[in-house]
Chains A and B, each alone.
Chain A
């Protein structure tokens, strides 16, 4: 699974805003921190406002603020604002109809299933509370 650019920007924005609930952050502040395009981020933020995950306040001291439920909103919920992860569009590719092509597709679906279950199990609250665990190395099996 590869998340598209808008999804990735949305995850940065929502997690950043939810991590500073007392502050309004501008698109420029978020874009500068993650070194991403402000123009593209503004479009993403508009989609998040329409989805009622984020609100925007105009004027001095204004900006964006997370208004979703941190315990109920999962990473998958955010991703699904921008792409249909559970049922991505089927784009036929060469070799798909062959015996090996069909088996390869099944393996890719298996990987996607695990990715979807993972994204759906991590709420914004859990992500922010546990992200420090992800800075450790994953131990290797001894087999």
Chain B
């Protein structure tokens, strides 16, 4: 697996000078804050999942794992990757996870993270970004809608296989 050097991707000033934040590649030291925020948002602590995600996306060129910080305080994260031909889909960017700290909401952090990953997708020649959400996840659904996302041409199906 090829390793990459973390670097600052964006320096963004939003609604006021005190809300200036940077977006950079995630580093291993971010994992405790990411795990904590995800745990607060989902109610489940997933240390192994996030360690694996960091190795796969944050520590290599396979995907994009960005964090936002304000004065060295962690504000949020986003995780994405280019995937091709699964379910018959031509290459497109996928966003797997997004989290913004409660205290950093409505400051443009989520939009900044979203745009940082979209910029990487564009640089990779990708013109479509997708994500998947729980139907009752109104917070994230509203956020992605506000970024211009809408229902796509695929639909997720499932069945119980245990009976």
Binding site for B on A (CB under 8 A): 74, 113-114, 117-118, 120-123, 125-126, 129-130, 133-134, 138-143
- What are 26 A-B residue pairs whose CB atoms fall within 8 Å in the complex? A117-B135, A117-B136, A117-B138, A120-B138, A121-B141, A122-B142, A122-B145, A123-B145, A126-B142, A126-B145, A129-B146, A130-B145, A130-B146, A130-B148, A133-B148, A133-B150, A134-B150, A138-B151, A138-B152, A138-B153, A141-B88, A141-B89, A141-B153, A142-B89, A143-B87, A143-B88
B154 within 8 A of A: yes
In order of increasing CB-CB distance, the 4 nearest A-B pairs are: A143-B88, A121-B141, A126-B146, A141-B153
B6 within 8 A of A: no
Chain A interface, >50% SS class: helix
Interface residues of B, CB < 8 Å — how many?
Answer: 17
Which chain A residues lie closer than 8 Å to B135 at the CB level?
A: 113-114, 117
Cα A121 to Cα B138 in complex, Å, equals 6
Residues 75-114 of B, flagged 1 when their CB comes within 8 A of A and 0 if not, give 0000000000001111000000000000000000000000
Mark out the residues of chain B between 127 and 163 whose CB falls within 8 Å of any chain A CB in the assembled complex: 135-136, 138, 141-142, 145-146, 148, 150-154
CB distance from A64 to the nearest CB of B (A): 26
Cα A76 to Cα B88 in complex, Å, equals 33
Contact B90 A125 (CB under 8 A): no
Among B88, B136, B151, B152, the residue within 8 A (CB) of A118 is B151
